[in-house]
Amino acid sequence: MDKKQPKYEYHLCTWGGFYNEEYSKIHNKPRGDFWFDTAEERQQFINELRDIEKKLNARHLMMTLSEGYCCRIPTVLHRVVEWEGKRYYSNYNLGINYPMSAAKYHLEWKWTCGYNDYPLGEDFDYENNKPKVIQEWITGAEQEFNFER
């Protein structure tokens, strides 16, 4: 029986003003998630983007880097609320390889019913009706950027 070897990957996520319409028309580089087989390949790609950023004065190119065996797993917040005896589910995808500590902070302080989470719809009056939160949880890779050395 052949056992599949896990693949160690190097992840890069890009976003920011570098991708504004005026610059994107010139450089045609996609934003988002990219995976590489080596740290050197990833760094070469970053250097190419930084060169374009400098040439166009296209501020700001934002990025997060991660690496490991679990670089393709999205981190997702989940919530179940109850209103008038019925339960409603919602979720929020934070993206690939989002750090678990940051996800916990986001769940506790940034993701709120009626503000940026609408399990009963956007027209529901959350402020006056206050649906009961039954359960909240996070799924994703439990990774805090402990890189292989």
- For range 37-55, the mean pLDDT: 96
Residue numbers of the domain that contains 101:
74-139
Looking at the fold, whether 79 and 132 belong to one and the same domain comes out as yes
Across 60-74, 80-94, 116-130, least confident range: 60-74
pTM: predicted TM-score of the whole model, two decimal places: 0.76
Looking at the fold, whether 108 and 82 belong to one and the same domain comes out as yes
Per-residue confidence band for 148, with pLDDT thresholds at 50, 70 and 90: very low
- What does the pLDDT read at residue 69? 85
Looking at the fold, whether 29 and 52 belong to one and the same domain comes out as yes
- Of 145 and 55, more confident: 55
- The domain total for the chain is 2
Exposure string of 74-110, with b = 16+ CB inside 10 Å and e = fewer, is: ebbbebbbebeeeebebebebebbbbeeebeebbeee
Picking from 23, 49, 68, the residue at the C-terminal end of a domain is 68
Looking at the fold, whether 43 and 83 belong to one and the same domain comes out as no
Looking at the fold, whether 127 and 81 belong to one and the same domain comes out as yes
Q: Residue 36: inside a domain, yes or no?
A: yes
The total of other beta-carbon atoms located within 10 Å of residue 40's CB is 10
- For range 61-83, the mean pLDDT: 91
User: 40 φ, ψ to 5°?
Assistant: -65, -40
145 has a pLDDT exceeding 70: no
CA dihedral 138, 139, 145, 149 (to 10 degrees): 150
Looking at the fold, whether 59 and 83 belong to one and the same domain comes out as no
Looking at the fold, whether 93 and 79 belong to one and the same domain comes out as yes
Q: Residue 4: inside a domain, yes or no?
A: no
- For range 15-20, the mean pLDDT: 93
Picking from 68, 96, 111, the residue at the C-terminal end of a domain is 68
Looking at the fold, whether 23 and 80 belong to one and the same domain comes out as no
Looking at the fold, whether 115 and 97 belong to one and the same domain comes out as yes
